[in-house]
Amino acid sequence: MIVKYIAITGGVISGIGKGITAASIGAALQSYGLDVEVLKIDPYLNVDAGTMNPNQHGEVFVTDDGYEADLDLGHYERFLNRDMTKFNNITAGQIYSSVIQKERAGDYLGATVQMIPHVSNEIKARLARLKGDVILIEIGGTVGDIESEIFLEAVREFSMDVGRENFLFVHVTYIPYLKITNEFKTKPTQNSLQLLRRTGIVPDLIVLRSEEKLPESTIQKVALFGGVKIDSVFGLEDVSNIYSIPQKIHDEGMDGMIMHKLNITPSKSFEWHYPDFIRDVKIAMVGKYLATDDAYKSVLESVFLCGYKKPELIDAESLENLDQKHVRDKLGRYHGIIIPGGFGKRGIEGMINVIKYARENDVPLLGLCLGMQLMTIEYARNVAGLAGANSTEFDPQTPYPVIDLMEDQKRKMNLGGTMRLGSDEIKILSGSRLYEIYGKETVKERHRHRYEINLEDFKNIFKISSLDKSDKLFISATSKFAEAVELQNKKFFIGVQFHPEYRSKISSPHPIFLNFLKTCEKE
Ligand code: GLN
């Protein structure tokens, strides 16, 4: 089969769900038996998303091969039910540094190195190495951004190289609603279509995102100004369950139109299953990145994919100086608590306060990475009697550094891409709660951290074998490092050094989340 390409551009504003729309188109096409490959293009100058603040840009998603990616790769993994790699993302930072390296190496043989053709060729080379029946290329940002211009140019050139008949341009744009006059406004979309046309790209399909269902007249107007037929403009209003979007895309005939335009004959018929019965169990997630809902995307989606309501985010800093009675006042109504990952000192005492509350009151608690480290600190301070125990990340002078920098991190100077990253094999200790959850002795999980449990100096406060019948904090999974802790006399008190949230998929919710939520449901 000739490889077909779908480029997805964004109009008007970012954050309208272009990634989810792209992932849903991919999922719909994949259900027809097509081999769908994805490339997310991020026009920012960062080499990867690893150094970006989740408060500004949303969570950093980590792939099996240890690549720190934009959170859209998480949507692709969850919707397409398969793992991504570093080849599924490019950033302007990667492209420019590669061009500059080549220039320094003399690879351009005396040429004046220019945006076109040198940078555009570098981008096209990355597009050309993707394999599949259908390649989805999602261009981050919105048309009109300076950063994305060269990517639009490269994609336009590439569409000519592979044959325009094998290429489809989908423009995902936003239609605001004006309450005061009770109408949907198409002007911003008209402008963004003009900006797009100025780059030489005429969209084949337009997807209109809006808060409410759009009237036919709005669709007509966009078709007219967009220069596309009305049957190629699709409205996609907000839905409460994003996993229903592939179904909606199918019901509206968008998948059929895409395949028609690309001359694709599917081998199977459309089929899509998603969680649509959502149990109302109240989970509090006590975190520190509160500026955007995207900061803990994978954790929220992991809970939802198990068929439960998403956790409510609670500001860890607001719990910092509270006594236990007040912590109970704030958290008493929740059936379970999650302490997610994070970096830096801000808010951690609030999280430790919450861990104490959960431990003393036997409230189900799941700690993820930072959460697991803080569970260890709380235990060291309040059960093992090591007052002032801490991580050297937060208190370099702590008398009891129960969490300390990993040995190989001590020599690393750069912050970008230098953590322990990606998938590693982990041994789950038999007799542990974690073993009951996984039902097997070895698993693979993804990591993203610099600090670890300091077992060398504090071995005696932990239980490290199931033969030990004490109630100590049990190191229930290991690799070269301590990978998980649990208190076995509690309903659910488990912390993991890894990130199970990065492995949740639509048809396979992660067993740790599932078990945690089932325990909470009994509360
Ligand atoms: N800050 C901690 C560390 O670097 C935890 C990281 C995380 O939660 N991803 O080890």
Domain check: are 89 and 160 in the same one?
Answer: yes
Domain check: are 336 and 235 in the same one?
Answer: no
Last residue of a domain, one of 231, 261, 291: 261
CATH code, domain carrying 59: 3.40.50.300
Which residue pairs from 465-471 have beta carbons closer than 8 angstroms and sit at least 24 positions apart in sequence?
A: 465/429, 466/429, 466/430, 466/431, 466/432
Domain check: are 110 and 179 in the same one?
Answer: yes
Say what the pLDDT of residue 466 is.
81
Probe residue for ligand 1, chosen from 352, 374, 448, 454 as the CB with the greatest number of ligand atoms within 8 Å: 448
Domain check: are 365 and 435 in the same one?
Answer: yes
Domain check: are 244 and 296 in the same one?
Answer: no
Inter-residue contact 169 to 4 (CB < 8 Å): no
Query: Is residue 434 one of the residues assigned to a domain?
Result: yes
Pairing of strands 61-62, 336-339: unpaired
Pairing of strands 451-453, 401-405: antiparallel
Say what the pLDDT of residue 162 is.
95
Q: How many domains does the chain have?
A: 2
Inter-residue contact 343 to 370 (CB < 8 Å): yes
Question: Model confidence at 56, in pLDDT bands (50, 70, 90)?
Answer: confident
| Residues designated as active site | 369, 499, 501
Q: pLDDT higher for 410 or 197?
A: 197
Query: Is residue 412 one of the residues assigned to a domain?
Result: yes
Say what the pLDDT of residue 243 is.
96
Q: What distance in angstroms lies between residue 363's CA and the mean position of ligand 1's atoms? A: 24
Query: Is residue 288 one of the residues assigned to a domain?
Result: yes
Domain check: are 337 and 251 in the same one?
Answer: no
Inter-residue contact 13 to 174 (CB < 8 Å): yes
Is the Cβ atom of 133 under 6 angstroms away from ligand 1?
Answer: no
- Give the chain's length: 523
Say what the pLDDT of residue 415 is.
79
Q: What distance in angstroms lies between residue 211's CA and the mean position of ligand 1's atoms? A: 36
Domain check: are 133 and 27 in the same one?
Answer: yes
Is the Cβ atom of 343 under 6 angstroms away from ligand 1?
Answer: yes
Inter-residue contact 1 to 130 (CB < 8 Å): no
SS3 52: coil
Q: Which atom of ligand 1 is least distant from the CA of 448?
A: 9
Inter-residue contact 506 to 454 (CB < 8 Å): no
Domain check: are 232 and 340 in the same one?
Answer: no
The pLDDT mean for the chain works out to: 94
Token reading at 392? 């050297």
Domain check: are 250 and 395 in the same one?
Answer: no
pTM, 2 dp: 0.93
Query: Is residue 345 one of the residues assigned to a domain?
Result: yes
In the predicted model, is pLDDT for residue 416 greater than 90?
A: no
Pairing of strands 68-69, 61-62: antiparallel
Domain check: are 454 and 318 in the same one?
Answer: yes
Closest CA to 346 of 319, 367, 368: 319
Helix ranges, 362-469 (H): 370-382, 433-438, 455-458
Task: Give the mean pLDDT of 239-248.
Answer: 95
306-318 tens-digit pLDDT? 999 999 999 999 9
Q: What distance in angstroms lies between residue 141's CA and the mean position of ligand 1's atoms? A: 28
451-506 tens-digit pLDDT? 999 999 999 999 998 888 899 999 999 999 999 999 999 999 999 999 999 999 99
Is the Cβ atom of 450 under 6 angstroms away from ligand 1?
Answer: yes
In the predicted model, is pLDDT for residue 134 greater than 90?
A: yes
Say what the pLDDT of residue 419 is.
86
Query: Is residue 239 one of the residues assigned to a domain?
Result: yes
Probe residue for ligand 1, chosen from 51, 366, 404, 450 as the CB with the greatest number of ligand atoms within 8 Å: 450
Token reading at 394? 């937060």
d(CA 309, CA 185): 33
Range of the domain at 218: 4-261
- What letter does residue 452 receive in the DSSP assignment? E
In the predicted model, is pLDDT for residue 277 greater than 90?
A: no
CATH code, domain carrying 335: 3.40.50.880
Say what the pLDDT of residue 55 is.
86
Q: Which atom of ligand 1 is least distant from the CA of 371?
A: 8
Query: Is residue 275 one of the residues assigned to a domain?
Result: no
Query: Is residue 72 one of the residues assigned to a domain?
Result: yes
Query: Is residue 274 one of the residues assigned to a domain?
Result: no
Is the Cβ atom of 492 under 6 angstroms away from ligand 1?
Answer: no
Say what the pLDDT of residue 278 is.
85
Domain check: are 174 and 300 in the same one?
Answer: no
Domain check: are 414 and 310 in the same one?
Answer: yes
376-415 tens-digit pLDDT? 999 999 999 999 999 999 999 999 999 999 888 877 777 7
Inter-residue contact 309 to 280 (CB < 8 Å): yes
